[in-house]
């Protein structure tokens, strides 16, 4: 898995500067506007876009048949994508807690927002990757777009809930989303692996 | 002779095409050429041996073990080149070597760069800037740099100019001279295989037409060219024939041919052509 993960990092390194620019811009916009949804949305996006890019390169390069022939197992190939998604998304998400250094943003509502988006980022990644392994990158992009739109709708709903409800409801929702996100990753990986094991190259 | 790899009764149905009871072996120290027209199933056979395609039926064996149960170390002893592309295009050869060192425990970095220099491959250019021939050579350099005892090469010289093809064949020839290595090479450039191979497997529409020693083929088959009357006198020695403007030409079994029949030497290309396009009696 080390070799595949290392190859993925090298392959998509050119895109890291774009990710960095987007992350910085949205961080500044969120900090100045006091609205963390901008940045939180970006962190969710990163969890899928990195493995999608890596897999897209692999399809073009014919890497997967080569790697499998070289003794890399199907399990390693599948897990390395989840590892890549996590390795890009989690640091970006963790950076969002820097907002709490600003007293004006240090609110319970913002904490719920960031926790919720962390969970949703993992959920989107977990929901998208099995489609990528089943359908290939191009067709799975459509699924990803649908999921992102669904997430945005969910976020608007969640934002209204957080603003209106108060009390412990939003905290429970945020904690539940984080828990669901964490649980979804191994479940999704197992599902992806069962798809990938049946695949011919 | 002991086989380094073998397939027995291999079947795979894709709906519009199927491999049907494919059986042959790759003896240790030998090069086996896998020939057949496009779509005959050559790549599928190689992919079955590599575990990339799961056969519906049959066995694939590598180093005496079921290919599906090879350890990682044993898999490293199989080098593969699968068509033109397989290396990450965004990487330089130096980076490719770094990746391979993390994949293969027996990665020979020095050997890899020695081959890269021999092939005149630039170390600092990205693979995407390489020509087709350079990519093939880079893929071959990788396959030869991790202690492989068995090479499975799918069309390694396809699309290359004669000079690049000759260079690749030279490298393969050198590799095989060691004696303990084996290779299965698929190609439809039969002149390449004639230079290298000890055995030939001919696949036609998913079936093995023959698996023979290359030298035995020229003893077994011959070409006949003559009039329709002369052809009809040949009898059951005809394997396949083609009618032309000036008579009939046929691939015949040399030993079964009537004494005095005018026969010419049949090359592998002739044998493949007659079996693929010729009519049967």
- Tell me, what's the pLDDT at B100? 95
Strands B199-204 and B182-186: unpaired
| Helix, strand or coil, per DSSP, at residue A104 | helix
Q: Taking 70 as the threshold, does the pLDDT of residue B84 lie above it? A: no
Residue B64 has pLDDT above 80, yes or no: yes
Work out whether strand B263-265 and strand B221-226 pair parallel, antiparallel, or are unpaired: antiparallel
Alpha helices in chain A (DSSP H): 2-11, 13-33, 37-61, 63-69, 74-95, 108-135, 137-165, 169-197
Separation of first and last alpha carbons in chain A: 19
Interface touch A57/B89, C-beta < 8 Å: yes
Q: Which residues does chain A have within 8 Å of residue B50's beta carbon, measured at their own beta carbons?
A: 65, 68-69
Which of A57, A62, A72 minimises the CB distance to B82? A62
| Predicted confidence (pLDDT) at residue B262 exceeds the cutoff of 70 | yes
Structure tokens belonging to residue A100: 């709490």
Q: For position A166, what pLDDT does the model report?
A: 63
Q: Which residue of A has its CA nearest to B49?
A: A69
- The whole-number average pLDDT for the span A110-129 is 89
Chain center to CA of B193: 7
Which residues of A fall within a CB distance of 8 Å from B70? 71
Rounded average pLDDT over B43-48: 94
What pLDDT is attached to residue B38? Answer: 86
Contact B239, B247 (CB under 8 A): no
Helix pair A108-135, A137-165: axis angle to 10 deg: 160
Q: Which among A120, A91, A97 is positioned nearest to A30, based on CA atoms? A: A97
Written as six digits, the tokens of B152 are 């499975």
Q: Given the DSSP bridges, would you call strands B182-186 and B31-35 parallel, antiparallel or unpaired?
A: parallel
Q: What is the pLDDT of residue B212?
A: 92
% of chain B exceeding 90 in pLDDT = 50
pLDDT band at A147 (very low <50, low <70, confident <90, very high): confident
Percent of chain B's residues with pLDDT above 70:
98
Tell me, letter by letter, the H, E, C secondary structure of chain B.
CCEEEEEEEEEEECCCCEEEEEEEEEECCCEEEEECCCCCCHHHHHHHHHCCCCCCEEEEEECCEEHHHCCHHHHHCEEEEECCCCCCCCCEHHHHHHHHHHHCCCCCHHHHHHHHHHCCCCCCCEHHHCCHHHHHHHHHHHHCCCCCCEEEEECCCCCCCHHHHHHHHHHHHHHHHCCCCEEEEECCCHHHHHHHCCEEEEEECCEEEEEEEHHHHHHHEEEEEECHHHHHCCHHHEEEEEEECCEEEEEEEHHHCCCCCCEEECCHHHHHHHHHHCECC
pLDDT reading at B163 higher than 90: no
pLDDT at B22 over 90: yes
**Model confidence at A78, in pLDDT bands (50, 70, 90)?**
very high
Q: Does residue B222 register a pLDDT over 90? A: yes
From the CB of residue B229, how many other CB atoms can be counted at a distance below 10 Å? 9
Say which residues have a Cβ less than 8 Å from residue A56's Cβ, sequence separation at least 6.
A137
> What pLDDT digit, counting tens, does each position of A10-57 carry?
999 988 888 899 999 999 998 898 888 888 888 888 888 889 999 999
Contact A123, A180 (CB under 8 A): yes
Grouping H, G, I as helix, E, B as strand and the rest as coil, residue A170 is helix
- pLDDT score of A126 more than 80: yes
**Statement: residue B26 has pLDDT above 90:** yes
Burial class (CB in 10 A: 0-12, 13-18, 19+), B21: middle
Handedness of CA B96, B100, B103, B109 (dihedral sign): negative
Inter-chain CB proximity B76 and A2 less than 8 Å: no
Q: Which residues of A touch B103 (CB under 8 A)?
A: 2-4, 67, 70-72
Confidence band for A161, pLDDT divided at 50, 70 and 90: low
The CA distance from A198 to the nearest CA of chain B, in Å, is 8
Confidence at residue B170, expressed as pLDDT on a 0 to 100 scale: 84
Write the CB contacts of A38 (distance below 8 Å, at least 6 apart in sequence): A26, A29, A30
Phi and psi based region of residue B63 (left: phi greater than 0; alpha: psi -120 to 50; beta: remaining): left
Q: What does the pLDDT read at residue B103? A: 93
Question: Nearest to residue A65, comparing CAs of B273, B42, B52?
Answer: B52
The answer to whether B115 touches B171, Cβ cutoff 8 Å, is: yes
Residue of B139 and B1 predicted with greater confidence: B139
Pairing between β-strand B150-154 and β-strand B182-186 as defined by DSSP bridges: parallel
Model confidence pLDDT, tens digit, residues B89-136: 999 999 999 999 999 999 999 999 999 998 889 988 999 999 888 888
Q: Do A69 and B52 touch (CB under 8 A)?
A: yes
- Chain B: residues touching A (Cβ < 8 Å): 47, 50-54, 70, 72-73, 75-76, 78, 80, 82-83, 85-91, 95, 98-104, 146, 152
Residue A137 — pLDDT band, cuts 50, 70, 90? Answer: confident
pLDDT band at A165 (very low <50, low <70, confident <90, very high): low
In this predicted structure, the answer to whether residue A103 has a pLDDT above a threshold of 90 is: no
User: What is the pLDDT, as a whole number, of residue B199?
Assistant: 94
Show residues of chain B in contact with A14, CB under 8 Å.
90
The alpha carbon of A113 is separated from its chain's Cα centroid by a whole number of angstroms, namely 16
Q: What is the mean pLDDT of chain B?
A: 89
- CB distance A196 to A136 below 8 Å: no
* Of B13, B114, B2, B105, the residue nearest B54 (C-alpha): B13
- pLDDT digit string (tens) for B179-192? 678 999 998 788 88
Q: Cβ(A63)–Cβ(B89) under 8 Å?
A: no
Residue B255 CA neighbour count, 13 Å, CB half? 5
Average pLDDT value for residue range A149-178: 74
Residue holding tokens 């003794």? A71
């Amino acid at each position: 898995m080390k070799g595949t993960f290392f190859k993925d990092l090298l392959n998509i390194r050119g895109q890291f500067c774009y990710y960095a620019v987007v992350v910085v811009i949205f961080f500044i916009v969120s900090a100045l506007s006091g609205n963390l949804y901008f940045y939180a949305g970006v962190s969710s996006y990163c969890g899928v876009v990195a493995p999608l890019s890596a897999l897209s390169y692999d399809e073009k390069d014919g890497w997967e048949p080569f790697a499998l022939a070289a003794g890399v197992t199907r399990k390693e190939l599948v897990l390395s994508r989840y590892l890549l998604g996590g390795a890009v998304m989690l640091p970006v998400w963790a950076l969002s807690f820097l907002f709490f250094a600003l007293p004006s943003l240090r609110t319970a509502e913002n904490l719920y927002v960031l926790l919720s988006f962390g969970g949703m980022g993992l959920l989107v990644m977990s929901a998208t990757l099995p489609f990528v392994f089943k359908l290939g990158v191009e067709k799975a992009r459509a699924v990803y777009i649908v999921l992102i739109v669904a997430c945005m709708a969910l976020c608007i709903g969640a934002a209204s809930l957080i603003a209106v409800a108060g009390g412990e409801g939003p905290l429970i929702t945020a904690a539940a989303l984080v828990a669901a996100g964490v649980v979804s990753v191994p479940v999704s990986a197992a599902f992806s692996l069962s798809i990938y094991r049946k695949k011919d190259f | 002779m002991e086989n380094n790899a073998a397939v027995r009764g291999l079947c795979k149905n894709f709906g519009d095409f199927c491999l049907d009871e494919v059986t042959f072996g790759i003896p240790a120290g030998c090069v086996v050429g896998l020939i057949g027209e496009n779509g005959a199933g050559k790549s599928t056979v190689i992919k079955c041996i590599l575990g990339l395609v799961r056969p519906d039926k049959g066995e694939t064996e590598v180093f005496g073990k079921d290919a599906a149960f090879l350890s990682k170390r044993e898999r490293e002893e199989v080098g593969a080149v699968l068509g033109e592309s397989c290396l990450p295009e965004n990487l330089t050869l130096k980076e490719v070597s770094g990746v391979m060192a993390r994949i293969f425990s027996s990665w020979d970095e020095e050997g890899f760069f020695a081959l890269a220099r021999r092939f005149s491959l630039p170390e600092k250019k990205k693979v995407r800037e390489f020509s087709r021939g350079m990519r093939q050579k880079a893929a071959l350099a990788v396959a030869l740099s991790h202690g492989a005892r068995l090479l499975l090469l799918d069309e390694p010289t396809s699309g290359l100019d004669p000079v690049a093809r000759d260079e690749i064949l030279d490298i393969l020839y050198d590799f095989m001279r060691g004696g303990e290595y084996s290779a299965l090479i698929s190609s439809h450039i039969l002149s390449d295989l004639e230079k290298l191979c000890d055995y030939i497997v001919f696949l036609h529409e998913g079936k093995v037409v023959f698996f023979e020693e290359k030298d035995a083929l020229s003893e077994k088959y011959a070409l006949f060219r003559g009039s329709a009357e002369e052809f009809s006198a040949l009898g059951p020695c005809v394997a396949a024939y083609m009618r032309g403007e000036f008579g009939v030409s046929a691939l015949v079994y040399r030993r079964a041919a009537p004494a005095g029949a005018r026969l010419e030497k049949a090359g592998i290309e002739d044998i493949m052509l007659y079996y693929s396009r010729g009519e049967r009696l």
